[in-house]
Structure 1
Amino acid sequence: MSLDDLKIIISLEQPDTFDAVNLTGELSEVLKSITGDSGRNSFNPDDVKLKRSVFVVARDSLGNAIGCGALRPIDENIAEVKRMYVRKKHMGCGSKILSYLEDKAREFNYSALWLETRLINNNAVSFYERNGYKRIKNYGKYIDYPQSVCFEKKL
């Protein structure tokens, strides 16, 4: 971990800002190269403009946007983590974004966080497992998607 990684600043933003659009666009390209699907159909930016939801951008000590993540409600007690992405050279940033989203979920009085990724996305699967997420049955639109894996973390 570099000194710049220790100075990561995470801030709330709208998902349609310049940096947010660029980061989520990069994420879509990365996901398409790994899974064959960009994931764009699984994320509506308006979902993170709802009450008890957020979109965040992480920046390095120079103010450069280096990562993003979002939280949206599934129901009164469960929120979903969406659009987690970090540019590769910024180790430790993903955990900081995820921790920030978990803190926000607690503030919003959610009792659990859920998320979906693809089994083929080994880096994402191991990242969520390292951060205390447990595999659960596929939910929602992912129920009949054997290529998907869903996770939960109790808060």
Structure 2
Amino acid sequence: MITIKRTNSDNIDFIKLVKELDKSLGVYYKDEKSFYEELNNIDKIKYAVVAYNENEKPVGCGGIKKYSKNEVEIKRIFVPTAYRGKGIATIVLKELENWSKDLEFEKCILETLKEKPYAIAFYEKNKYKEIPNFGEYKNAENSICFEKEIK
């Protein structure tokens, strides 16, 4: 059974999972590493969730940060390889969407990498629609952006 804890980016389990995520993303970032590292700084994430298994081991995470008056940006969703395929990422994403609704936001937006077809398929399966790249990602050729109405 998976349990979810609402927390913030100071949570030690969140920090450890994000470090593991960053290590795995290094292969994708190549020459754009500093660009993406700056955008993925967890200090800007006020709302974070950590998923725990029945042994209280952290097995997934994600965060949201305010993007505009009505939008939050989904950030740093990650499930370690050993725990993938068990629906944990979906549980994390749904909790982030629910928290966004609780905070009275109307839309979730996000960015992922074009080189990660499994991530693209995951967001599409969860009813996210592709949109033009937004904000800092506008000219990022390796990025693809999505949105979902949550009101």
Whether TM exceeds 0.5 here: the answer is yes
What is the aligned partner in structure 2 of residue 123 from structure 1?
118
| Distance (Å, rounded) in 1 between the aligned partners of 2:20 and 2:140 | 24
Deviations 1:84-127 (A, max 9, x none): 00012322000000000001111111111000011001111111
66, 79, 83: which one pairs with 1:86? 79
**Alignment of structure 1 residues 1-155 onto 2, 5 Å:** 7-36=1-30, 37=33, 39-49=36-46, 54-90=47-83, 91-155=86-150
Percent of residue pairs bearing the same amino acid type? 32
Question: Does structure 2 conserve the Cα–Cα contact (< 8 Å) formed by 1:117 and 1:124?
Answer: yes
Q: Give TM-score, length-normalised by structure 2.
A: 0.90
Q: Number of residues paired by the alignment? A: 145
CA drift at 1:13: 2.2
Task: Give, in whole Å, the separation in 2 of the partners of 1:55 and 1:10.
Answer: 10
The aligned amino acid for 2:39 is S
Where do 4+ consecutive residues of structure 1 move more than 6 Å?
Answer: none
Gaps in structure 1 of 5+ consecutive residues: 1-6
Do the aligned partners of 1:69 and 1:98 also contact (CA within 8 Å) in 2? yes
Task: Report if the CA contact (8 A) 1:79-1:105 is conserved.
Answer: yes
Q: TM-score, normalised by structure 1?
A: 0.88
